[in-house]
Structure 1
Amino acid sequence: MVDERNFRSTYYEKVGCRSVEEKKSLNILLKDRPLNRIKLKQFCLSFTVPTAERSLLWNLILGIMPVYTNSTKYVKDQREEAYEDVLRAVKIMRYVDEKTPRSRVFYVMWLLENKKLHSDVNIYQDSNFVNIVEVLLQTFESDYEVYWVAKEFYAFTVEIQNDFPKLKELTFNLLEKEDAELYSHLEKHDILQHIPLESWYANCFASTISEPALIRIWDKICGGSRKIVVFVFLVLLKTLKMNFMRCNDLKQFCDHMEKKTEDQDDLIVKQAIEVWQNNKNHNEFMVHHKNN
């Protein structure tokens, strides 16, 4: 039954039918007054988000734009003004200048808003927030939108990080069950427990998988799924299994990760979404973020 459904979905995608039907469904949802965030999240979980509609969908789902469309312009103006105020503040305080990378500028702005900016802060330290911004800069057009989306998406990553013990246990259990050979090899060479899994899950693979493919995973996270990160990792292991089976230490493992190609990233994401969708319990770790 699963194979038949996958074949049918693939066929529809090839002839363009599926995308047309999905766009029709989305257009119907966007005509609701007021807009229904729960239904829009469900769309992100169930279908491929059209590139042209991603900005609108994310802004609505993340609560950046209102569900009452007659207030959209006012709220948008307020968001832009707030962005400009914070940007002006960090420039006046001389934490950033014209040479500071935008991702770092946004990081400083976020620190200021969250009362974490102090005189000895190192704005070039490792940060999940920065990694997220660098992906979003390739996805959205305006700086103010990137900043607002980054702030709200980062909240999802904090929830994923809080759930990491459960996600890690699920990851290792599934790996041992589905590929005992690879599991045993990684355990034998003391690699599995030292893989930077928490970091990858916490930034939703922002520093591991390239943007064109990764953003489709983030659509599902915006829709409310934390558990999808587990399937991304499992499919990643499966895709690069032959390389990983030759690894004798963590460095070799990480070297193979860095040599991945964008084509491999695209395949990993496509298969991870398929496996996640076919998993009966994929709603186990649903996130209910700003449903109102």
Structure 2
Amino acid sequence: MTLNYISVNSYKNRLHHCKMTDERNFRSSYYEKVGCRGVEEKKSLEILMKEKPWDKVKLKQFCLRFTVPAAYRNLVWKVLLDILPVYPDSHQFVMEQRTEQYQDLLYAVEKFDFVSTDAPRTQVLFEMWLLENEERKPPLFPETNFSSAETFIPIVNTLLELYDDEVDVYWLAKSLTDVVRNMQRELPKLKEAFITMLEKEDGDVFNHLVDINAMEVLPLTKWFNCCFAGILDDTSLTKIWDKVCSGAPKILSFAAVMLVITLRRNILRSKHSDEVLKCVSQIPEQCEEVVANKAIELWQYYGAQPQNDTLAKK
């Protein structure tokens, strides 16, 4: 009998690894068993948030190890992405300044008719971002010639589903786009990591993709540059973005691996590369959370370390 997405030996090794490294205390295990997983993690985060100033290194370590509780995610992301400082007493003042800048940009794009008053909110925010960057057309990332619009717009669409405050949406989208821009030189490494891990985790799928020349059609650049926005559902994405905001964009390679492996049955049935492309473009809704969870599990198994701290900075 074979497992769907990992070899038996790999699975056994992973179980052994989990047993050897599981340092959770009895109470944490109990909470998880009775369905209250995350209670201890939430308490740990609250302790970190009581420090003055916040220790960003510890905050990143927390986000790399755990999923950020939804109630705190917005605030934690804004600190990790330097939208807010590590001094909690300054948060209100800084956010007021961010709001004023947002309002100025919004007034300008409407005043100069850069966007119609009934335009979709995504388009309005995009025009504001272009104006702030003194651009009239979406700039291309120089290393890859990838349009920044294909990064900013999908990310905004996802954030609008997550948060009601468009000021937060704008600043988070702007900062995540900066992360992606700074990530461009690392794309070859992310793709190399994807190929290496796919071959190791599911040799059958890897060999099949190579045999039908389908490896080249996988939209890896698109997946990485939109951080899977519009590819995975909003709830699943937040778990991935916790790691991206913490300076670990390599999680995107693991997400790509698990997406392909999760769709292995249809991929193995594909006889041509265009069939593979169609397959990975039509992800069943019930698979999306599986992809995110398994990607994080695989990433943690391989070390769960930040790839490059500078990637998370503007």
Instruction: Give TM-score scaled by structure 1 length.
Output: 0.90
**Cα distance, 1:125 vs. partner?**
9.4
Is the partner of 2:54 in helix, strand or coil?
A: coil
Is the partner of 1:117 in helix, strand or coil?
A: coil
Superposed counterparts of 1:228-267, under 5 Å: 228-267=251-290
AA at the equivalent of 1:246: R
Per-residue CA distance 1:184-205 (angstroms, 9 max, x = gap)? 2111212101211111111111
Instruction: Give TM-score scaled by structure 2 length.
Output: 0.84
**Cα distance, 1:159 vs. partner?**
2.6
2:309 corresponds to which of 276, 287, 290: 287
Alignment pair present for 1:227 and 2:242 = no
Contact 2:239 2:292 in 1 (8 A): yes
The whole-number CA distance in structure 2 between the counterparts of 1:10 and 1:165 is 40
Per-residue CA distance 1:196-245 (angstroms, 9 max, x = gap)? 11111111111211111111100111111011111111111111101101
Query: CA RMSD of the aligned region, Å?
Result: 2.5
Change (3 A) 1:14 1:101: farther
The whole-number CA distance in structure 1 between the counterparts of 2:48 and 2:240 is 21
The whole-number CA distance in structure 2 between the counterparts of 1:137 and 1:71 is 26
The whole-number CA distance in structure 1 between the counterparts of 2:220 and 2:72 is 31
Sequence identity, in percent? 39
Change (3 A) 1:12 1:233: farther
Alignment pair present for 1:104 and 2:123 = yes
Contact 1:49 1:216 in 2 (8 A): yes
AA at the equivalent of 1:73: Q
Would you say how many aligned residue pairs link Structure 1 and Structure 2?
287
Per-residue CA distance 1:63-122 (angstroms, 9 max, x = gap)? 112222222221111111100000111111111122211111111111111111269xxx
Any gaps of 5 or more consecutive residues in structure 1? none
**Cα distance, 1:38 vs. partner?**
1.9
Superposed counterparts of 1:24-43, under 5 Å: 24-43=43-62
**Cα distance, 1:18 vs. partner?**
4.0
Any gaps of 5 or more consecutive residues in structure 2? 1-15, 139-146
Contact 2:243 2:251 in 1 (8 A): yes
Contact 1:60 1:66 in 2 (8 A): yes
**Cα distance, 1:16 vs. partner?**
4.1
The whole-number CA distance in structure 2 between the counterparts of 1:65 and 1:284 is 21
Alignment pair present for 1:132 and 2:159 = no
Change (3 A) 1:40 1:189: same
Change (3 A) 1:160 1:11: farther
Partner residue in 2 for 1:22: 41
Contact 1:161 1:201 in 2 (8 A): no
